[in-house]
C-alpha cells in the first residue's frame, strides 16, 4: 500500500522531520496539569493509557470535542489565561446546549514551546473554570507543534432528557439568553471595521475572551425547551440548524435581539450594517438559543430571575420553512447576513 | 484582565487573522465522515452540540486522547489512507493497553485545505479500522490550520477489571506481544542512519504506517496481566512507567526481545548501536507490554496460539528498583538507550 510516489515524497520530507524539544521540558505539563480528581466518579485520571470513569446509572453520556487553532479561533499573543478559560468554556457550552452536566475533560495541545509562565497562566484559566463547574481534567496529550488546543468534554444527562435541535414546533417562541454580538463587535473593532470607545471595546473584548457557558440554564431547560443549541457561529446560521433539524421556519425581530448599549448605538450610525452583521451573524457568543411553547413564558421568566440572566423572546416558529428577519419598522431584511464570523470554515460533525 | 501589553500585541496580530476557507469546502467533511452509527449504544451521533451514548451498566468508561502533528508524528506527504488508519490505531492501542473494548471515537482535525481526494483516502483508512473493531465515529470538529489530527477514544471495561500500570509484582514475568523496533528501524532507514534492502524497508514501513492495535489481546489479558501498557515511546521508557508505578525493578534480556529478521541481522553489523536503539528505545510499535505471574505461562501460550500472535517473555520483575538489560553474553549493557524516538517531547497526562 506504499506506492513509489508516496515513498519518494516521504524521503524528501524526512530530512525536515522534527524530533523536537526534550522530554524534560514537557515535564512542565505534568507540573501544571496533573491534579487529583475531585469527583468520586473518576476511577483513574492521568498516568496511564486511558482515564477511567464510572458513569451514573440511568444517565446518558454526552461527548463533544472542539479544536482551537491560533490565528483562526484566537489571536496570536492572546492572554494565555483567557485562552485556558475559553478552550474549556466553548466545550462547557456544548454540554449546556444539550442540557447536560459537564463532568470530565481531556486536554490535547500542540505548543510551539513549553514556556512555564504561559503554561501556568493557561492552566489557571482552564482550572478556574473547571473548578467553577465541578469538571475534572482526567487526561490529555501534549506535543510540540503549531499552537492548537483540542478539548474533549464528557458530561451526563438523564436518559432521554437531552435537548436536541430537532424538537422545535410551529407556534413555539424563540428565545436567547444574555446578549448577542459583542464578541463579533470586538473583532470588528480590532480589525478597524468600526470605532469603539475604550470602555465599549474592553467590555466587548471580555465577551470574546471570557465567554460564560450557560450550564445552569441548560440543565434547567431540560423539561422546558423543545430544541436548543449554543450560538457559536452566529444567530441566523445556528437558528437555521434548529429549523432544518425540526422541519419548520422562524420569524425573528431585529429590535428584539438583546444587545449591548454600544452595539445598540451603532445601529443608528453609518456602521449599521456591521452592527446588524454582529447581531445576526456574529459568532463566539456562547449564549443558548432555544425554542419553547408560549405556555412556558411564566416558567422562563422565573428561571431568568433565579439565574439573574436575561432570557429574551426574539421571535417565533412558523410552519412555513425559511427564516424571516424584520427590522425596527416591521419590514423584512432583504439580505440576512449569515456565516460572517471568524470561525468560517469550521464544520462540526 | 486585558493588559495594555496584551492588547497591543493583539492589535498587531489581528491584521494577519485568517478568516480561512469557505464553509462550503468543509461540507466535504460531512460527505466523508458522517455515517449512521452501527451500535445501539449510540443514542445520537453528529449534527448536534454533542453526541449521546448509553453506557453499559456495570462497566467503567475508558477515555483517552492522542494528537498527531505533521513532521512530528508523521511525515509530510504520508499516504492519507495510512494516516487515517494510524490516527485511530494509536487510540485503539490505548484502549487495548487498559484491557478495554474501544467503542466510540471523536475526530478533530485541522487541515491546510479540504482536498476531496485526500479526505476520501483518510476516511477510508479511518473507517476500515473503525469497522474492524466495531467503533462508531460519533462526533468531531474540523477547521482550517496546520495539519493536526486529534482523536478521542472511549471504550468500556467491566468495573474494576481495567489493567493499570501499577500492579507488577516481584517475580512476575515481563512479556511483549509481536515484535519490537520495526517502526524505529523504518525511520532510521528513511533518515539514512542504516541501510535496508527494499523488502526490509517495505515491511518496516508497514509497521510504522499501519500499526495493528492489540485489542483482542488486551481484553483477554484482563484476568491474567498484573500491569500493562502499549509500547508507544520505546520498550525501556515504557517499561520504566510500569516499574515506577509498581515500585519494582526489572531485568530484561536483549536476546529475548522479539524482532524482525532485518533488525536481527543488523545486530551483527557496525550498525549494532542503531539496532539496539530501535529494539530498546524505538517508539511507535503499539505492541502490548505486560507482566504476569509465572503460573500464567500455560494460559499465555494458549492465548498466543488462539490469537496467532507471539507473546514473548523478555525478562522478569525484581525487588530491586531500576532496569537492567543484559546482552547476548549475559553482560549488563552499560548505557541503556531511552527516549530515543521521533515522539521525544510528548507528554501524556
B216 with B102, same domain: the answer is no
Q: Is residue A202 part of a domain?
A: yes
Length of chain B: 349
Four-residue CA torsion sign, A214, A215, A217, A221: positive
Distance from CA of A348 to the nearest CA of B (A): 4
pLDDT in tens, B15-31: 333 333 344 445 777 78
| Most distant CA atoms of chain A, gap in Å | 69
Q: In what order do the strands lie in the sheet with B42-44?
A: A136-144, A101-111, A148-158, A59-69, B51-53, B42-44
Query: What's B311's domain CATH number?
Result: 3.90.650.10
A153 with A78, same domain: the answer is yes
- Give the residue ranges of chain A where pLDDT is below 70: 1-26, 339-349
A219 with A288, same domain: the answer is yes
Rounded to 5 degrees, φ, ψ at B190 are -65, -25
B147 with B247, same domain: the answer is no
A190 with A228, same domain: the answer is yes
- A69 — contact with chain B (CB < 8 Å)? yes
Do A265 and A203 contact (CB within 8 A), yes or no?
no
Q: Rounded CA gap, B293 and B297, in Å?
A: 8
A242 with A267, same domain: the answer is yes
| pLDDT of residue B91 exceeding 60 | yes
B201 with B305, same domain: the answer is yes
Size of interface A-B (CB pairs under 8 A): 377
**Other C-beta atoms lying within 10 Å of the C-beta of residue B287:** 32
Q: Give ipTM to 2 decimals.
A: 0.89
Cα A10 from chain centre: 38
B143·A73 Cβ contact <8 A: yes
Distance from CA of A315 to the nearest CA of B (A): 22
Pairing of strands A136-144, A101-111: parallel
- B198 — contact with chain A (CB < 8 Å)? no
Q: Is residue A291 part of a domain?
A: yes
Residue that wins the pLDDT comparison between A142 and B310: B310
Q: How far is CA B259 from CA A35, B177, B189, B234, B312, in A?
A: 39, 11, 16, 13, 11
B138 with B182, same domain: the answer is no
Q: Rounded CA gap, B75 and A8, in Å?
A: 11
Distance from CA of B326 to the nearest CA of A (A): 26
* Interface probe with A: pick from B48, B62, B103, B195, most Cβ of A within 10 Å: B48
Beta bridge partners of A250: A317, A323
A190 with A109, same domain: the answer is no
Cell of B147: 495539519
B349·A107 Cβ contact <8 A: yes
- A9 — contact with chain B (CB < 8 Å)? yes
Distance from CA of B147 to the nearest CA of A (A): 9
pLDDT in tens, A242-282: 999 999 999 999 999 999 999 999 999 999 999 999 999 98
- Between CA B315 and CA B317, with CA B316 as vertex, the angle to 5 degrees is 140
The label of the residue with cell 516521504 reads A10
* Interface probe with B: pick from A12, A49, A215, most Cβ of B within 10 Å: A49
Percent of chain B at pLDDT above 90? 76
Q: Is residue B335 part of a domain?
A: no
Do A217 and A271 contact (CB within 8 A), yes or no?
no
B15·A48 Cβ contact <8 A: no
Q: Global pTM?
A: 0.90
Q: Please list every residue in chain B whose beta carbon sits closer than 8 Å to the beta carbon of residue A16.
A: 71, 76
Look at B226-240, B289-303, B324-338 and tell me which has the smallest mean pLDDT: B324-338
- A334 — contact with chain B (CB < 8 Å)? no
Cell of B139: 462526533
B344·A16 Cβ contact <8 A: no
How many structural domains does chain A have? 2
- A83 — contact with chain B (CB < 8 Å)? no
| pLDDT of residue B13 exceeding 60 | no
* Interface probe with A: pick from B164, B345, B346, most Cβ of A within 10 Å: B345
Q: Is residue A39 part of a domain?
A: yes
User: Quick one: pLDDT band at residue B348, thresholds 50, 70, 90?
Assistant: very low
Q: Is residue B343 part of a domain?
A: no
- A148 — contact with chain B (CB < 8 Å)? yes
- A51 — contact with chain B (CB < 8 Å)? yes
Q: Is residue A32 part of a domain?
A: yes
Four-residue CA torsion sign, B212, B216, B218, B224: negative
From the number of C-beta atoms within 10 Å of its C-beta (0-12, 13-18, 19+), residue B328 rates as exposed
Q: Domain range spanning residue A105?
A: 25-158
A1·B157 Cβ contact <8 A: no
- B349 — contact with chain A (CB < 8 Å)? yes
Q: Is B349 helix (H, G, I), strand (E, B) or coil?
A: coil
* Angle in degrees, 0-180, between the axes of helices B182-190 and B198-209, rounded to the nearest 10: 120
Distance from CA of B244 to the nearest CA of A (A): 11
Q: Please list every residue in chain B whose beta carbon sits closer than 8 Å to the beta carbon of residue A110.
A: 67, 69, 148
A62·B51 Cβ contact <8 A: yes
pLDDT in tens, B34-70: 888 889 999 999 889 999 999 999 999 999 999 999 8
A143·B69 Cβ contact <8 A: yes
Do A98 and B48 contact (CB within 8 A), yes or no?
yes
pLDDT at A343: 34
pLDDT at B24: 45
Q: Is residue A43 part of a domain?
A: yes
Residue that wins the pLDDT comparison between A19 and B81: B81
Q: Please list every residue in chain B whose beta carbon sits closer than 8 Å to the beta carbon of residue A70.
A: 145
Q: Please list every residue in chain A whose beta carbon sits closer than 8 Å to the beta carbon of residue B3.
A: 79
The label of the residue with cell 471595521 reads A193
Beta bridge partners of B63: A51, B154
A150 with A197, same domain: the answer is no
When computed from its CA atoms, the radius of gyration of chain B, rounded to whole angstroms, is 22
**A positions 268-297 inside 8 Å of B (CB):** none
Closest in B15, B19, B52 to A62, CB measured: B52
| pLDDT of residue B153 exceeding 80 | yes
A209·B137 Cβ contact <8 A: no
B189 with B92, same domain: the answer is no
From the number of C-beta atoms within 10 Å of its C-beta (0-12, 13-18, 19+), residue B251 rates as middle
B139·A17 Cβ contact <8 A: no
B220 with B315, same domain: the answer is yes
**Other C-beta atoms lying within 10 Å of the C-beta of residue A286:** 24
Q: Rounded CA gap, A288 and A181, in Å?
A: 13
B18·A46 Cβ contact <8 A: no
Three-state SS across B237-277?
Answer: HHHHHHHHHHCCEEEEEHHHCCCCHHHHHHCCCCCHHHHHH
Distance from CA of A328 to the nearest CA of B (A): 30
pLDDT at A339: 53
Do B250 and B323 contact (CB within 8 A), yes or no?
yes
Of B124, B158, B192, the residue that ends a domain is: B158
Beta bridge partners of A156: A61, A101
Closest in B50, B146, B345 to A62, CB measured: B50
End-to-end, the C-alpha distance of chain B in Å comes to 29
Closest in B43, B104, B345 to A60, CB measured: B43
* Interface probe with A: pick from B2, B30, B49, most Cβ of A within 10 Å: B49
Q: Please list every residue in chain A whose beta carbon sits closer than 8 Å to the beta carbon of residue B187.
A: 14, 17
Beta bridge partners of B251: B316, B324
Taking residues B340-346, report their average pLDDT: 39
- Of B193, B190, B208, the closest CA to residue B271 belongs to B193
Q: Is B88 helix (H, G, I), strand (E, B) or coil?
A: helix
Q: Please list every residue in chain A whose beta carbon sits closer than 8 Å to the beta carbon of residue B46.
A: 349
Of A128, A158, A188, the residue that ends a domain is: A158
Q: Is A104 helix (H, G, I), strand (E, B) or coil?
A: strand
Cβ contacts of A56 within 8 Å, gap of 6 or more: A41, A156
- Of B234, B230, B323, B324, the closest CA to residue B277 belongs to B234
Q: Is residue A296 part of a domain?
A: yes
Query: What's A99's domain CATH number?
Result: 3.30.1330.10
User: Quick one: pLDDT band at residue B4, thresholds 50, 70, 90?
Assistant: very low
User: Quick one: pLDDT band at residue B195, thresholds 50, 70, 90?
Assistant: very high
Cell of A155: 458530561
Amino acid at each position: 500500500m506504499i506506492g513509489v510516489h508516496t515513498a519518494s515524497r516521504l524521503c524528501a520530507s524526512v530530512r525536515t522531520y522534527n524530533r523536537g524539544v526534550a522530554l524534560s521540558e514537557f515535564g512542565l505539563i505534568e507540573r501544571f496539569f496533573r491534579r487529583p480528581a475531585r469527583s468520586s466518579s473518576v476511577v483513574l485520571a492521568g498516568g496511564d493509557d486511558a482515564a477511567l470513569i464510572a458513569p451514573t446509572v440511568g444517565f446518558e453520556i454526552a461527548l463533544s470535542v472542539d479544536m482551537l487553532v491560533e490565528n483562526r479561533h484566537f489571536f496570536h499573543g492572546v492572554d494565555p489565561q483567557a485562552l485556558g478559560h475559553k478552550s474549556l468554556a466553548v466545550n462547557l457550552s456544548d454540554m449546556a446546549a444539550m442540557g447536560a452536566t459537564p463532568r470530565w475533560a481531556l486536554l490535547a495541545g500542540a505548543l510551539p514551546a513549553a514556556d512555564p509562565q504561559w503554561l501556568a497562566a493557561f492552566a489557571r484559566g482552564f482550572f478556574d473554570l473547571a473548578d467553577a463547574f465541578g469538571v475534572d481534567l482526567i487526561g490529555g496529550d501534549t506535543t510540540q507543534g503549531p499552537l492548537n488546543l483540542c478539548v474533549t468534554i464528557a458530561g451526563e444527562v438523564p436518559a432521554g432528557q437531552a435537548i436536541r435541535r430537532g424538537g422545535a414546533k410551529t407556534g413555539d417562541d424563540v428565545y436567547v439568553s444574555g446578549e448577542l454580538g459583542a464578541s463579533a463587535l470586538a473583532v470588528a473593532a480590532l480589525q478597524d471595521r468600526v470605532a469603539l470607545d475604550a470602555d465599549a471595546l474592553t467590555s466587548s473584548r471580555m465577551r470574546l475572551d471570557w465567554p460564560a457557558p450557560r450550564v445552569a440554564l441548560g440543565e434547567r431547560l431540560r423539561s422546558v425547551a423543545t430544541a436548543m443549541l449554543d450560538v457559536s457561529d452566529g444567530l441566523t446560521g445556528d437558528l437555521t440548524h434548529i429549523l432544518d433539524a425540526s422541519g419548520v421556519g422562524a420569524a425573528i425581530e431585529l429590535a428584539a435581539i438583546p444587545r449591548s448599549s454600544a452595539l445598540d448605538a451603532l445601529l443608528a450610525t453609518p456602521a449599521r450594517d456591521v452592527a446588524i452583521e454582529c447581531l445576526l451573524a456574529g459568532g463566539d457568543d456562547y449564549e443558548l438559543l432555544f425554542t419553547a411553547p408560549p405556555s412556558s413564558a411564566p416558567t422562563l421568566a422565573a428561571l431568568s430571575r433565579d439565574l439573574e440572566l436575561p432570557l429574551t423572546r426574539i421571535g417565533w416558529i412558523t410552519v412555513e420553512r425559511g427564516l424571516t428577519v424584520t427590522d425596527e419598522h416591521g419590514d423584512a431584511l432583504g439580505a440576512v447576513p449569515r456565516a460572517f464570523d471568524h470561525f468560517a470554515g469550521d464544520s462540526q460533525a
